[in-house]
Every structure is written in structure tokens, then in C-alpha cells.
Amino acid sequence: MQSQWGILDIWNFIAWQYQGQNIRIVPYSYSLTFRQLVTDTQQSNVINILANADFLLLGMYITAVEANAPVEANGTVLITDSGSSEQYTQGPVAIQSYMQNTQSMPRQQQLPVPRQIAGRTTLTIDVVNEAAETVDYWDIALQGVSIYVYGQN
């Protein structure tokens, strides 16, 4: 995963958040698949963050496939923390403005600031396909680092 932030930037951001605690970070990715996305219908799926580690979200990526060929994703996405009901955006946003389509890599679509997600969080991902035809599937990946805390310094 390429990043606009270097490893020292990421480490310093995390160290600032977890002052005085022993931490270890490990690259990690959460993924899910939406299948047979019919035009203008909403589908929902969930991602459960590991119970033993927080997650620092750095970037989100999507792969869309139609008729066994990669295509540009066309639709909307809304991510909601199921426990707090906090939405990551005011409402559904165009998927291309929020997630990097793997078809156009290596350009990176990352969050302006990393987003910290507590362990044991459940995220609900709602998507709507706005393409003119049914799409075979969308694979969505949330990439970042897991943060393990091992007590105080």
C-alpha cells in the first residue's frame, strides 16, 4: 500500500493518540464483497473490527466487476459506526470520490487524515449501484494498520 504519509508520520500520529502506552502496529486490511448489485437498489454489509486491536484507517479501495471484466464503480457509499450511529460522511457519497478504484491505480485515494476506529467496532457499509446495469460484484477494502496496546510505559 502506497501512502501519502510515511511510516514515521503514521507512527507519530499513533504515538500522539496513545501517549504513555506501549504499542505495536501491523499493516491490516478489512474487506467485504457485495454481489449482484442491481441498479438503484441498496445493499448493506458489515465489517467487525478486531476485538484485541484498534484500527487506523488510511485508505479505501474498490474493485468492480461486470461480465467477468473490471469496470469503474458507479454508485454511492455510506459507512456508519453501528454502535454510536456515527456516519463517516453526512450522507451517501459518490463512491469514486471516497474510494480508490483499483482500475486506476497507482493513484491513491486516501483520507485527508487517518481515521481511528476502536476495537470491537462494527461498521455498516451501505452501497447503491447507479450503473445502468446489474454489476456482478464490488469488492471493498479498508486498509490501514492494527494498533495493539501492551500497557503503560
High-pLDDT (> 90) share of the chain, %: 69
Closest CA to 44 of 116, 129, 131: 129
* Higher per-residue confidence, 101 vs 148: 148
pLDDT of residue 15 exceeding 60, the answer is yes
22-40 pLDDT, tens digit each: 999 999 999 999 999 999 9
Q: Give residues with Cβ within 8 angstroms of 76, minimum separation 6.
A: 92, 93, 94, 95, 127, 128, 130
> Is the bond into 106 cis (omega within 30 degrees of 0)?
yes
Per-residue pLDDT, 104? 60
Whether the full predicted model's pTM is greater than 0.85, yes or no, is yes
CA distances from 48 to 29, 39, 96, 106 (A): 12, 27, 24, 28
The pLDDT assigned to 72 comes to 87
Q: At residue 106, does pLDDT exceed 80?
A: no
Average pLDDT, the chain: 89
pLDDT of residue 112: 76
pLDDT at 83 over 70: yes
pLDDT at 2 > cutoff 90: no
CA gap 95, 143 in Å, rounded = 16
> Average pLDDT in the 78-96 region?
93
- The tens digit of pLDDT for each residue in 134-150 reads 999 999 999 999 999 98
